[in-house]
Amino acid sequence: MQPVDYTTLSAACSELRAHWLPSRMEQVFQRDRYTISIALRTLKQRGWLEISWHPQAARLCIGNPPPRTPDTFTFSQQLIHQLGGLALIAIEAIAPWERVVDLQFARRPGESPLYHVYVEIMGKYSNVILTDASNLIITAAHQVSQQQSSVRPILTGQVYETPPKLTGPVPSINESLQRWQERVSLVPGAIKRQLLKSYSGLSASLVDSMVRAANLAPDANTDELTVQDWQELFAKWQEWLQALQAKKFHPAWTADGYTVMGWGGVEPAKDIQELLNRYYSDRLNEQLFAQLRHQLSQKLSNILAKLRLKANTFSDRLQQSDRADEYRQKADLLMAHLQNWEPGMKEIMLPDFETGAPIAIALQPDKNAVQNAQGLYKQHQKLKRARAAVEPLLAEVNSEIEYLEQVEDAIAQIDKYQIAEDLQALEEIRDELIGQKYLEDPEYRDRSNNETKSNFHRYRTPNGFEILIGRNNRQNDQLTFRVAGDYDLWFHAQEIPGSHVLLRLEPGAVAEETDLQFTANLAAYYSRARQSDQVPVVYTQPKYVYKPKGAKPGIAIYKQERILWGKPQNGQ
C-alpha cells in the first residue's frame, strides 16, 4: 500500500486550508481502532475530516460520513468533550519536511488556540495526540510507555515532545544542478536508491515516479547517466520543489496507485481529498474483504465436512436398519420350524416361506430355538427404532448442508473486491452466520433489514426490463418476500444452491422469450452450477414462493413453476 509521504501530506493540508478554515467542530466519531472522523461546518459546507493512524494507511483527508452504529471508543469521547463547539482555526506543519500536522482549535477565529491535535503520519509509528494550550498531553490514540520507548514516551499529563528531527540533508530549491548531482552520484548506485539515501523527506513512490517522468529506469546506475539525463531529472526535481513551494499539485490515478504531481497519471482526480479517501478506503476494504472471505470459506468448509461425515454415519445406520425385516423373517422361520432345531447348533438352514430357497440362520449354541428367535425379534425391533430415530436426524443434517451450501455458493460468487458493496455483501453473510450461531463475535451488532442498504446485482433484459439478483441469503429473502411485486417473475436454479433472481415487470407488461432466457441464463450463472453448459431453471410468480416455517435464511419452496434451460456462459 502506498504510504502518505511529505509531499502528499503537504498537498492534502494545502487543500484543507483553502476550503475548511475556519470551521466549527460539531461531532467526533471513531470508526475503528485506527480512524476517527471529525464533523466540520463552514459557512458553505459540512464534511467529515478523516484522521487515521493506521500503520499502513495513516492519512488526513475529507472522507465519507461514518456509519450509523454506536461509537464505543473512549478516545473519540475525550476529543468531543474537549473540542466540541470549538473552531478549527489552523492546520500547520510543526517543522519543514516533518510529517506531523498541528490542528489548532480556539473559541473563534483570531483567538489563541486552546487545544492542539497533533497528527503524526509516520507509518507504524503514526499517532494522534490531543494537548492543551501549554502542550500538556490530554489524551492520545496510542499511548507509549517508558518501557515501550525511553526516547519518546507519550503519556497523559506529560509535555508533548515532537518526533526526533531528520538527520539527513533536506531538499532545497536553491541548490544548484552541480551540487545536487555531486551529492547524488558521490557513491555510484541505482539512481532511485541514491536519491533516497542522499535526502530526507522523499518517499519511494515519489522518487520512482520522478525518475520515470524523466524517462529513466529507477535501477539505472548513476555512472551511466548522460549530461542530458541529469538535466532532465534535475528539471523534475525542481518541478517537484516548485509545486511544494507554490502549493500547486496535480492529483491523478496511476496504474498501481496515485500521484499528487501528475507524473505517470492515467486518469485525473477531482481533488486530493477524493484521491486519498478513495484509494485508502478501497485498499483497506480489499484487505478486510480478503481476510473475511478466507475466514468464512474456511469456517464453512470445516462445518460442512463435519456435517457430511455425520450424514454418512446416519445413512450407514439407515442401511443397517433396512435389515430389520430380514431379522423378523428369520425369527418367523425359526419359530415355524422349532422341530428342526437341535441342541448346540450354530447355524440352521430353513426354506424361505415364499420361494422355498434355503436361508442360513446363525444361532447362539447356548440358547434354545425359542430364545434364538426372541433374540432375532429384539434385533428387528431395535433396528426399527433406530430408523425412526435416525430418519429425522438425517433430514435435519441434510437441510443444514443444503443451507450452508447455499451460503458457500454466495461467497463463491463474491470472488474479488471491486466496490464497497462487495465487502458489505460479505459482512451480511458473516452477520447471518453469527445470527444462525455458526460464528461467534462478541462485538456483533445485528443490523435490521431496514438499516441494510440493498445492493443487489442489477441487469437489464434485451427489452429493457430490470433484473435484481440477491448476493447472499439475507438479500435473497429481502428480494423474494419484500421487494417482489405481483407482476414480477421469480427465477432460481432447480434444486441447486444459488441466488434468487427477480424479473421486474410493470402491470400489463409481458416478458418475451428472449427476456425469460436472458434471466434464466443469469439465474444459472449465479448458482453453484455456473460451470455447466446447461442448468435447469424454474420460474414462477412470487405469490407461489413460500418460506417453510422455521426455515433458515435463503430457503424457499415454490409451486406452479415452469422450467427453462439456462446457459451460464451466456449470463456472464
3-state secondary structure 184-251: HCCCCCEHHHHHHHHCCCCCHHHHHHHHHHCCCCCCCEHHHCCHHHHHHHHHHHHHHHHHHHHCCCCC
User: Which pairing describes strands 46-52 and 466-469: parallel, antiparallel, or unpaired?
Assistant: unpaired
Taking the CB of residue 182, how many other CB atoms lie within 10 A of it? 11
Q: What integer pLDDT is reported at residue 441 of this predicted model?
A: 67
Span 101-107, average pLDDT: 97
Q: How far apart are CA 239 and CA 246, in angstroms?
A: 10
Name the amino acid, one letter, at 318. Answer: L
Q: Are 210 and 5 a contacting pair, CB within 8 Å? A: no
Q: What integer pLDDT is reported at residue 489 of this predicted model?
A: 96
User: Which pairing describes strands 489-493 and 466-469: parallel, antiparallel, or unpaired?
Assistant: unpaired
Q: What angle do CA 421, 422, 423 make, to 5 degrees?
A: 90
For the record, the C-alpha cell of 14 comes out as 494545502
Q: How far is CA 312 from the centre of its chain?
A: 34
Q: Which pLDDT tens digit goes with each residue over 236-247?
A: 999 999 999 999
| Domain 177-269, CATH | 1.10.8
pLDDT-derived band at 224 (thresholds 50, 70, 90) equals very high
pLDDT-derived band at 80 (thresholds 50, 70, 90) equals very high
| Domain 6-140, CATH | 2.30.310.10
Taking the CB of residue 101, how many other CB atoms lie within 10 A of it? 22
Q: What angle do CA 146, 148, 149 make, to 5 degrees?
A: 65
Q: Enumerate the domain spans of the chain.
A: 6-140, 177-269, 282-446, 457-570
SS3 572: coil
Residue 451 has pLDDT above 70, yes or no: no
Q: Could you tell me where the beta strands, DSSP code E, fall in 298-401?
A: 347-351, 358-362
pLDDT-derived band at 449 (thresholds 50, 70, 90) equals very low
Half-sphere CA count of 410, side-chain side, radius 13 A: 35
pLDDT averaged over every residue in the chain:
91
Strand partners, 466: 460
- Record: fold of 282-446: Helix Hairpins (1.10.287)
Q: Which pLDDT tens digit goes with each residue over 136-171?
A: 999 999 988 888 877 888 999 999 999 988 888 999
pLDDT-derived band at 442 (thresholds 50, 70, 90) equals low
Q: How far apart are CA 141 and CA 228, in angstroms?
A: 49
What Cα–Cα distance (Å) separates residue 270 from each residue in 6, 41, 46, 527, 538? 21, 21, 18, 39, 47
Q: Which pLDDT tens digit goes with each residue over 284-297?
A: 999 999 999 999 99
